[in-house]
Chain A
Amino acid sequence: MSVQIVTANRLRDGAVVYLTATQHWSEEFAASAVFRDDAAAQLALDGAGAAVKARLVVGPYLAEAKETAEGLQPINARERIRASRQPTITVDAGSWTGRIAG
């Protein structure tokens, strides 16, 4: 079932964050507050303006997600990658030192 969540980037470090049911901003996709109708989603997005004004986040927007047996899932490649908070690639450890992997 397709639902909506509110997501943004944290102002200070640019990290991906999600609006939770308790009006906080979490780095965990799974902690997203879920909105099942457009009106509620829009209201939440408008409310996120306060977090923008308070210099917590920038650029909040509504993203689609789907509810599955395994829980809330991102709806497309972009949101999947954002939710993982890192690139998808692993780099041959032989080439690098100190490279991000997991």
Chain B
Amino acid sequence: MYRYDEFDATFVAERVKQFRDQVARRLAGELTEDEFRPLRLQNGLYLQLHAYMLRIAIPYGSLSSKQLRKLAFIARRYDKGFGHFTTRQNIQFNWPQLDEIPDILAHLAEVEMHAIQTSGNCIRNVTADHFAGVAPDEIEDPRIWAEIIRQWSTLHPEFAFLPRKFKIAVTGASHDRAAVKFHDIGLKMARNEAGEIGFEVIVGGGMGRTPAIGPTIRGFLPKQHLLSYLEAILRVYNLLGRRDNLYKSRIKILVASTGTAEFARLVEEEWARIRDGVLTLPREEVERIERYFNPPAYEKLPVFSPELETAKRGDAAFARWVRTNTHPHKVDGYSIVTVSLKPEGGAPGDASADQMDLIADLADEYSFREVRVTHHQNLVLPNVRKQDLYALWQRLAAVRLAQPNVGFLTDIIACPGLDYCNLANARSIPIAQRIQRRFNDFQRLEEIGELRLNISGCINACGHHHAGNIGILGVDKQGEEFYQITLGGSSKDDSSIGKIVGPAFAIDQVADAVETIVDVYLEKRLSAEERFLETYRRVGLDPFKEKLYGNPQARRPAAE
């Protein structure tokens, strides 16, 4: 994991002091709310429905057990005992007080954390593959590059007031687990013909009102040019992005209206002016950062673990969890464990302070003190010995963190919704809970197979519903909550945007609708191996539409 050096530590301390002063000036009336708002947003502080909300950066989803314990402490001391992990690998606290924020930031600085640029029209937290460094299909560890980008983008003076927010994601594996095509800039590490590793550069993807899959503007960018190329993209965006209309100000609009080829040309033209200058990465800095991501002291273990196999044979529930919540590790004898934060009756992505402390303990004992946050709002223990899986599972199960639902229908991704968020049209968590209750049979879940369900409480799409195999979007109809369902989205390599299936449903009908959709899939699939997404792509919307809405003479939907 990256560790701050003296420069990083000094910087964060200076930032805390600056914000403390800004808060004081706000409370003393020297700053109006209009003047203060961008400043607090650039420190991750929102004003939400019931209270302020603080979004803390977890760079590329990487946490140490020490940092996780500090988050637990903050949850207890300054909040209501829990936190929410987000679709951008950050954590949010929902009840901090304005005058306590500087103290919270000071606590975070003690463990090399901050809330810098987690909001505002600037470059946000750079996200990366949550299996970075440990996945068997990895070409190179993306965290190195995410860290380099993180530093370069921190308080970048030219890009502090962009037309709109800017999100970058990096993946280093042959399978994209970071949804790079749905980001303002997506970087996919790849080899060129000569076998050199560099970046495929994708620009202009996004969610929101106008979801888009980003086109590739450069097939291969050598590593040393990463920052100069990014600077060229940001400069073109800063100058040409629309500032007249909030809903048309993301880079995806600029790329679409300019055209991919012309946009790429503008970037290349700017890049030609600045490449090979001071932004060229010195190899020594790359190596310095690489060293932080060196693998831990893995033991030499056989790929096959007799203890694991025995445990699986003896405990069917454990065997199921191994099937669903663990993933192969690139080192023999190890396993990647996903800790599901989607228990029945919970709120997706939430963890209590006690659970955070427990996971920190488990990280210490079983995972070289490392934890990851996924953009699916789960946590990962990336380095667990196979022979320890059973003991680990038992401890997770004791606090309901062992739901065997990763990647399945009840591994729901949901924004906080109208229960918390000022922007929302409808609540999302109650919808998630109803669906989880309806589908709480784990065997059934496994039979249904891989199925991603995403819920957004409004068109801002923080729940990434456009990328859900089943997407649910909360809408407001005359002040009441309704839910529009989309089908066929995907955030993996086969990226696609979901299609609206028909008129919106009332809150009491959503679980039924999802059940109907699942029934149609089960009926139409060619075999258990054909995933929901594949069946949908083969049969289209019509079979689902028919069963959901019937024909005009039969059942009528809830709204219009």
A–B direct touch in complex (beta carbons closer than 8 A): yes
Q: Which residues of A contact B (CB under 8 A)?
A: 9, 11-16, 52-55, 58-59, 75-78, 81-82, 85-89, 91-92, 94-100
Q: Can you sample 16 A-B contacts with CB below 8 Å?
A: A11-B26, A14-B47, A16-B50, A52-B33, A76-B478, A76-B480, A77-B427, A81-B419, A87-B50, A89-B433, A94-B345, A95-B346, A96-B352, A97-B81, A98-B81, A99-B352
B76 adjacent to chain A (CB < 8 Å): yes
**Residues A98 and B97 in contact, CB atoms below 8 Å apart:** no
**Residues A97 and B352 in contact, CB atoms below 8 Å apart:** yes
**Residues A77 and B481 in contact, CB atoms below 8 Å apart:** yes
**Residues B418 and A86 in contact, CB atoms below 8 Å apart:** no
B400 adjacent to chain A (CB < 8 Å): yes
In the complex, residue of chain B having the shortest beta-carbon distance to the beta carbon of A54: B29
Of the candidates B47, B80, B82, B355, the one whose C-beta lies within 8 Å of that of A59 is B47
Of the candidates A14, A52, A91, A96, the one whose C-beta lies within 8 Å of that of B50 is A14
**Residues A58 and B47 in contact, CB atoms below 8 Å apart:** yes
Give a binary string over B74-89; 1 marks a CB under 8 Å from any A CB, 0 the rest.
0010001110000000
CA–CA, A52 and B274, complex, Å: 47
Contact of A89 with B47 at beta-carbon distance under 8 Å, contacts A97-B352, A98-B81 already known: no
B470 adjacent to chain A (CB < 8 Å): no
Contact of A81 with B49 at beta-carbon distance under 8 Å, contacts A12-B97, A95-B352 already known: yes
**Residues A12 and B419 in contact, CB atoms below 8 Å apart:** no
- Please name all residues of chain A whose beta carbon is closer than 8 Å to the beta carbon of B433 when the two chains form the complex: 89
5 closest A-B pairs by beta carbon, nearest first, are A76-B479, A92-B345, A98-B81, A87-B419, A14-B51
CA–CA, A99 and B243, complex, Å: 41
Interface centre among B80, B97, B353, B479 (most CB of A within 10 A): B479
B268 adjacent to chain A (CB < 8 Å): no
Of the candidates A11, A53, A92, the one whose C-beta lies within 8 Å of that of B98 is A11
Contact of A98 with B480 at beta-carbon distance under 8 Å, contacts A58-B33, A92-B346 already known: no
**Residues B343 and A92 in contact, CB atoms below 8 Å apart:** yes
Nearest-neighbour CB distance to chain A for B164, whole angstroms, equals 21
B503 adjacent to chain A (CB < 8 Å): no
**Residues B48 and A88 in contact, CB atoms below 8 Å apart:** no
**Residues A11 and B345 in contact, CB atoms below 8 Å apart:** no
Nearest-neighbour CB distance to chain B for A10, whole angstroms, equals 9
**Residues B480 and A77 in contact, CB atoms below 8 Å apart:** yes
In the complex, residue of chain B having the shortest beta-carbon distance to the beta carbon of A79: B479
Of the candidates A85, A87, A95, A99, the one whose C-beta lies within 8 Å of that of B400 is A95
B517 adjacent to chain A (CB < 8 Å): no
**Residues A91 and B418 in contact, CB atoms below 8 Å apart:** no
**Residues B52 and A14 in contact, CB atoms below 8 Å apart:** yes
CA–CA, A99 and B81, complex, Å: 6
Nearest-neighbour CB distance to chain B for A88, whole angstroms, equals 6
Give a binary string over B463-505; 1 marks a CB under 8 Å from any A CB, 0 the rest.
0000000000000101111000000000000000000000000
In the complex, residue of chain A having the shortest beta-carbon distance to the beta carbon of B478: A76
B256 adjacent to chain A (CB < 8 Å): no
9 other A-B residue contacts (CB within 8 Å) besides A14-B50, A98-B82: A13-B97, A15-B51, A59-B47, A76-B478, A92-B400, A94-B345, A97-B354, A98-B76, A99-B352
CA–CA, A70 and B50, complex, Å: 24
B231 adjacent to chain A (CB < 8 Å): no
- Please name all residues of chain A whose beta carbon is closer than 8 Å to the beta carbon of B347 when the two chains form the complex: 89, 91
- Please name all residues of chain A whose beta carbon is closer than 8 Å to the beta carbon of B355 when the two chains form the complex: 96
Contact of A13 with B29 at beta-carbon distance under 8 Å, contacts A87-B420, A87-B429 already known: no
CA–CA, A9 and B48, complex, Å: 9
Nearest-neighbour CB distance to chain A for B353, whole angstroms, equals 6
Nearest-neighbour CB distance to chain B for A83, whole angstroms, equals 10
Interface centre among A12, A14, A82, A98 (most CB of B within 10 A): A14
**Residues A14 and B82 in contact, CB atoms below 8 Å apart:** no
**Residues A94 and B400 in contact, CB atoms below 8 Å apart:** yes
- Please name all residues of chain A whose beta carbon is closer than 8 Å to the beta carbon of B365 when the two chains form the complex: none
B430 adjacent to chain A (CB < 8 Å): yes
B21 adjacent to chain A (CB < 8 Å): no
CA–CA, A87 and B432, complex, Å: 14
**Residues A77 and B98 in contact, CB atoms below 8 Å apart:** no
In the complex, residue of chain B having the shortest beta-carbon distance to the beta carbon of A52: B33
In the complex, residue of chain B having the shortest beta-carbon distance to the beta carbon of A78: B418
Contact of A97 with B27 at beta-carbon distance under 8 Å, contacts A14-B97, A15-B50, A88-B419 already known: no
- Please name all residues of chain A whose beta carbon is closer than 8 Å to the beta carbon of B33 when the two chains form the complex: 52, 58-59
Contact of A100 with B80 at beta-carbon distance under 8 Å, contacts A77-B480, A85-B50 already known: yes
- Please name all residues of chain B whose beta carbon is closer than 8 Å to the beta carbon of A95 when the two chains form the complex: 343, 345-346, 352, 399-400
Nearest-neighbour CB distance to chain A for B126, whole angstroms, equals 28
Nearest-neighbour CB distance to chain A for B527, whole angstroms, equals 35
**Residues B344 and A89 in contact, CB atoms below 8 Å apart:** no
B529 adjacent to chain A (CB < 8 Å): no
- Please name all residues of chain B whose beta carbon is closer than 8 Å to the beta carbon of A85 when the two chains form the complex: 50
Contact of A13 with B430 at beta-carbon distance under 8 Å, contacts A59-B33, A98-B80 already known: no
B519 adjacent to chain A (CB < 8 Å): no
Of the candidates A52, A89, A94, the one whose C-beta lies within 8 Å of that of B429 is A89
Nearest-neighbour CB distance to chain A for B416, whole angstroms, equals 8
Contact of A98 with B52 at beta-carbon distance under 8 Å, contacts A78-B418, A91-B346 already known: no
- In the complex, chain B residues 389-442 whose Cβ is within 8 Å of any chain A Cβ: 399-400, 418-420, 424, 426-427, 429-430, 433
Nearest-neighbour CB distance to chain A for B179, whole angstroms, equals 27
In the complex, residue of chain A having the shortest beta-carbon distance to the beta carbon of B354: A97
- Please name all residues of chain A whose beta carbon is closer than 8 Å to the beta carbon of B345 when the two chains form the complex: 91-92, 94-95
CA–CA, A79 and B81, complex, Å: 25
- Please name all residues of chain A whose beta carbon is closer than 8 Å to the beta carbon of B49 when the two chains form the complex: 16, 78, 81-82
- In the complex, chain B residues 492-543 whose Cβ is within 8 Å of any chain A Cβ: none
In the complex, residue of chain B having the shortest beta-carbon distance to the beta carbon of A96: B352
Nearest-neighbour CB distance to chain A for B477, whole angstroms, equals 10
CA–CA, A40 and B98, complex, Å: 32
